[in-house]
Structure 1
Amino acid sequence: MSETTGLKQNNQQVFDVSINFPPQIGSKCYDDDGRLKRSGTVWTASAHIITAVIGSGVLSLAWAVAQLGWIAGPTVMIMFSFVTYYTSALLAACYRSGDPNTGKRNYTYMDAVRANLGGFQVKVCGAIQYMNLFGVAIGYTIAASISLIAIERSSCFHTKGHESPCRVSSNPYMIAFGVVEIIFSQIPDFDQIWWLSIVAAVMSFTYSTIGLGLGISKVAENGKIKGSLTGISIGTVTETQKIWRTFQALGAIAFAYSYSLILIEIQDTLKSPPSESKTMKRATFISVAVTTIFYMFCGCFGYAAFGDMSPGNLLTGFGFYNPYWLLDIANAAIVIHLVGAYQVYCQPLFAFVEKTANEWFPDSKIITKEIQIPIPGFKPLKLNLFRLVWRTLFVILTTIISMLMPFFNDVVGILGAFGFWPLTVYFPVEMYIVQKRIPKWSTKWICFQILSMTCLMISLAAGVGSFAGVVTDLKVYRPFKTSY
């Protein structure tokens, strides 16, 4: 960077001075790209990942295992955990182009695709990634409202008895969740929500542990382990329903493991040395290992407790009624977690839109001007008019769509199917092949393609099953009037 200055005397320029500013390499305040030094660690990255991974998807795992049975259910979960970890490690290696320590940084998933694959694939990746982030926001709004409803219904059942219908509308709760997200969405940057991720991660462990504990206690109460080797039996459902539900279960499990679409953004918060890819691989291993253990326990004990009748949402399906206060705590923890998870997923989308707006209208004060609002005892709040308006409209839109389509399991399955193959498998594999210059038709290249094609087949099957579920739900659905 350089700056030219001049002194004028009697309206005549006397001399010019050219000052060169060297890159801030080795600076205590700046990283090698001139940005403020990143401070993220393996633990903050793990918190972000756990916040994203142990989300509402964990609550549908008992239902998913019930569709697949004792053999296929746990096997599929282990398979997805391995694929997620392996492809996440490949993706982490693509954060820098060239040398893993000094190469050019790719700040977002799209930047990594642009640097390694380029062309039309960048647009495809961007469309899939941001549509998936948009869909996750809808899914989390639905899940949060269902948990809030469960708290009210739990109190109703406790007061009026388990046979009472206790019907509750989801709309007020979706609106309330949306209002909270409008407030939190004004946090400007991804690296400023680390504290929200830690709170959300703690909450995810809280409700997962409660769900696990209730599942274990229910098994003890029953005195036997329910379920079968092949899952829900024909008779309980038709043969066609069995097929669709099996496919939908694959989508639910895929959704439960999906976080690759924000991996690069999380990695961009990490300090170095050591290299960001090493730290990210370690954080990924820790996070995926922890979540897999939780998933196995929650999914399997939920299925053991309820067998074929496993609810679509373990803590809101009211297989459990007591202790009602413990269920209320679990569902409150879900809501708090989803408040944070919504922001973790939406921040990359927010950043993309605002960066694009800045590039298109660099001289617009509405887009670029920051207004500082003093807060006693805290740093001034930086408020940007464009950010305020556009993020508010985004939350309002996701809330309205959630009110139109409040189908938890089907939405979860669709999101898992839509995002798993392209974002978790295809792009990481293809970028790694380019990054490491793996020869076409070599043994390693063929193995990568087999992995990719297998996951594509799974994603297609999951998508078909989930869309079939939506079609079934729509037959008895009335917009804005759904109650639980």
Structure 2
Amino acid sequence: MDVEARKYLPSELDDDGRIKRTGNMLTATTHIVTVVVGAGVLALAWAMAQLGWLAGIASMIIFASISIYTYNLIADCYRYPDPVTGKRNYTYMQAVQAYLGGRMYVFCGLVLYGKLAGVTVGYTITTSTSLVAIKKAICFHQKGHKAYCKFSNNPYMIGFGIVQILLSQIPNFHKLTWLSTLAAITSFGYALIGSGLSLAVVASGKGETTRLFGNKIGPELSGTDKVWRVFSALGNIALACSFATVVYDIMDTLKSYPPENKQMKRANVLGITAMTILFLLCGGLGYAAFGDDTPGNILTGFGFYEPFWLVALGNVCIVIHMVGAFQVMAQPLFRIIEMGANMAWPNSTFITMEYPTKIGSLTFNINLFRLIWRTIYVILATIVAMAMPFFNEFLALLGAIGFWPLIVFFPIQMHIAQKQIKTISLKWCVLHLISFLCFIISLAAAVGSIRGISKNISKYKVFMYKQ
């Protein structure tokens, strides 16, 4: 039983001894939409430009359909072994361990925490890109749209890293709930600003020519580059669809009746449908506005110059979102490493000792291991971001890494184990076919994004990139 739960009556507690959850289908839907509306939304117009109207719209709908199906399978695995009366799995990894055993648990942990680490690097890139875009918006406004307004991302990445080093020392990030709430609100802010500016361009009749099959092969785009860009675009869409890292955190807020899996299934349908509509709007409007010249990020690629203050405001929203989102993704990684260190060296004062510290009226504890390890991690994430500051390609790589294992492979394998589906039966074959096709898509997206990163690195000197 939780220490906090001891002061409550048994009737006020859930079956696992924790304080009764009060969430419902609508709150879960809100959480889903909040999580998936991230900076990746701003790359969807570029993805649409590579794929064209036909494949772009079809890809978003197919990814959404697969996501609804597999997230519903995940919902059924919240409890073990019975989806209604079984024991709760509080994390994705716990569910994988319960249904698939220790080896898959380790594999899941490597993928999950590897993706979390990659996302923190991606957020560092995104923040610096937006901070530079704010400076460029002001520069273009003051000096004209043809002025030389290129700046290094590095000082902004370093500044963002310093802020994250300070925030990372907070042992219990849940105490900064207000920052996460503010981050969620601003995510809608920049998505709406980007879509609104695109709509204004289209409504004014200044939209560019678009194509059914995406950017045209010609002197500026070879057939090979077109294929690689299509793969990278699929990775961008895959990243935008992902909330697997927090799906059980959302489920763990739901009240016990109706059963959590039934509530979550309805929330999955509503949340992913709302997400898909928003993605189609952002991607479609951005593509309609810019055509073949659609920038990788519609708020930082300067398809828009005026009103400069609105472009700057959209990028301010991105920065605020990234400050909170970095910690939301980094804290689970911090926690697992520190838990492992405590288990491995329980008698080490360097790892376990907390030193009360007071600065003015502020009192807090300093742990040397936490101070050094978290600082080193943020520094390394910043260095990697400075070496590879390529927004679209890095987001595509993250999407490719996480999509197949977390959204397709593990849910299907857990479903097969839970329902005891016979090997080589029709359903078993269909499920494995879906998994295999999604693996091919993820692999192609990963290869395409890695090629894009390597191609960009060969063009620019490492640590000398200017946007």
For residues 70-469 of structure 1, the aligned pairs below 5 Å read 70-189=53-172, 192=175, 194-223=177-206, 226-235=209-218, 236-370=220-354, 384-469=367-452
Does the 8 Å contact 2:387/2:462 carry over to 1?
A: yes
Larger % of helix: which? 2
Deviation at 1:305, TM superposition (A): 0.6
Q: Which amino acid aligns with 2:323?
A: V
Does the 8 Å contact 2:46/2:295 carry over to 1?
A: yes
Does the 8 Å contact 1:251/1:463 carry over to 2?
A: yes
Deviation at 1:225, TM superposition (A): 6.0
Q: Which amino acid aligns with 2:159?
A: A
TM-score (norm 2): 0.91
**Larger deviation, residues 117-126 vs 43-52:** 43-52
Distance 2:26 2:169 in 1: 25
Distance 2:25 2:355 in 1: 34
Q: Which runs of 5+ in 1 are unaligned?
A: 2-22
Distance 1:179 1:189 in 2: 19
**Larger deviation, residues 274-283 vs 304-313:** 274-283
Does residue 64 of structure 1 match 2:54?
A: no
Distance 2:134 2:402 in 1: 31
Residues 155-183 of structure 1: CA deviation (Å, up to 9, x unaligned): 00111111111121111111121222223
Deviation at 1:33, TM superposition (A): 3.6
Q: Which amino acid aligns with 1:290?
A: A
Aligned-residue identity in percent = 51
Structure 2 residue matching 1:222: 3-state secondary structure: coil
Q: Which amino acid aligns with 2:223?
A: E
Distance 1:46 1:122 in 2: 28
Does the 8 Å contact 1:64/1:252 carry over to 2?
A: yes
Deviation at 1:46, TM superposition (A): 4.4
Residues 423-455 of structure 1: CA deviation (Å, up to 9, x unaligned): 110001101211222222333322211211111
C-alpha distance 366-288 of structure 1, shift in aligned 2 (>3 A): farther
C-alpha distance 184-40 of structure 1, shift in aligned 2 (>3 A): farther
Deviation at 1:96, TM superposition (A): 1.7
Question: Number of matched residues?
Answer: 462
Residues 173-214 of structure 1: CA deviation (Å, up to 9, x unaligned): 111212222233344457555543332221111111111111
Does the 8 Å contact 1:61/1:299 carry over to 2?
A: yes
Distance 2:185 2:359 in 1: 28
**Larger deviation, residues 140-149 vs 116-125:** 116-125
Does the 8 Å contact 1:261/1:424 carry over to 2?
A: no
Deviation at 1:384, TM superposition (A): 4.3
Q: Which amino acid aligns with 2:82?
A: D
Deviation at 1:292, TM superposition (A): 1.3
Residues 336-367 of structure 1: CA deviation (Å, up to 9, x unaligned): 11122222222322222222222222344444
C-alpha distance 433-244 of structure 1, shift in aligned 2 (>3 A): same
Residues 230-259 of structure 1: CA deviation (Å, up to 9, x unaligned): 100011411111111111111111111122
C-alpha distance 275-258 of structure 1, shift in aligned 2 (>3 A): same
C-alpha distance 192-84 of structure 1, shift in aligned 2 (>3 A): farther
Distance 1:114 1:103 in 2: 15
Computing the radius of gyration from Cα coordinates, the structure with the larger value is: 1
